[in-house]
Chains A and B, each alone.
Chain A
């Protein structure tokens, strides 16, 4: 199984500051035939189901604010929130959809400092 490891487990960022979450895969998620990384990011707020934020490592889902961006390729990926807003307090998960089982990272909790 592909193991997804996120860092840090939690972080506290001041309002308006940048938040950066890392996700490392135990295997390459770049599919050579289409040059796409099979990596997605979800946001989960308390008491709610996860919400799709970013897929193919860097494509924002429709309606997601442009302060959210994804980057990386192969085995190392990053989710960046460029200017943290109060509504961004949540747990963020990366997930690979390169193969089954569709493993998730352990989650990163983002709070306001």
Chain B
């Protein structure tokens, strides 16, 4: 059974940093491209970042470029999102989501982890 479990969310002050993790199981993690998607409270979905299975391709939304860094450790079946210079508008539930293939939809999502940026 495919499982994605996020952790690392919490309350952080504006300008602070946080590192999110997503541990994957039930599939060959290194073969799959992965994404982070966020959802502000009561709002819609916003794609944040993408990383290919080999980490050779990485993309970011303009809203986080230069502040967030996506990475993965295939030996640990883990995906990460390092978030720096956090702003109030980064407050959201952050989901990790698996690509079902190259240029393909997200077929599995984690339950999400809440990040709150507030003083």
- Tell me, yes or no, whether A binds B: yes
Chain A contacts to B: CB under 8 angstroms: 38, 40, 42, 44, 48-52, 55, 61, 93, 95, 97-98, 100-107
Q: When A and B form their complex, what is the total count of cross-chain residue pairs whose Cβ atoms lie within 8 Å?
A: 54
Cross-chain contact B107 with A61 (CB below 8 angstroms): yes
Residues from chain B with Cβ under 8 Å of A104 in the complex: 44-47
Query: Of B45, B46, B61, B104, which is within 8 A of A55 by CB?
Result: B104
Task: Determine if B59 is an interface residue (Cβ-Cβ < 8 Å).
Answer: yes
Closest-by-CB residue of A relative to B63 is: A101
Chain B contacts to A: CB under 8 angstroms: 35, 44-47, 50, 59, 61-62, 95, 97, 100, 103-107, 109-112
Residues from chain A with Cβ under 8 Å of B59 in the complex: 100-101
Closest-by-CB residue of B relative to A98 is: B103
Cross-chain contact B105 with A106 (CB below 8 angstroms): no
SS class of chain A's interface: helix, strand, loop or mixed?
A: loop
| Known A49-B109, A49-B112, A107-B44: A97·B103 in contact at CB below 8 Å | yes
Closest-by-CB residue of B relative to A41 is: B105
Cross-chain contact B45 with A93 (CB below 8 angstroms): yes
Residues from chain A with Cβ under 8 Å of B35 in the complex: 102
Residues from chain A with Cβ under 8 Å of B105 in the complex: 40, 52, 55, 95, 97
Cross-chain contact B47 with A50 (CB below 8 angstroms): no
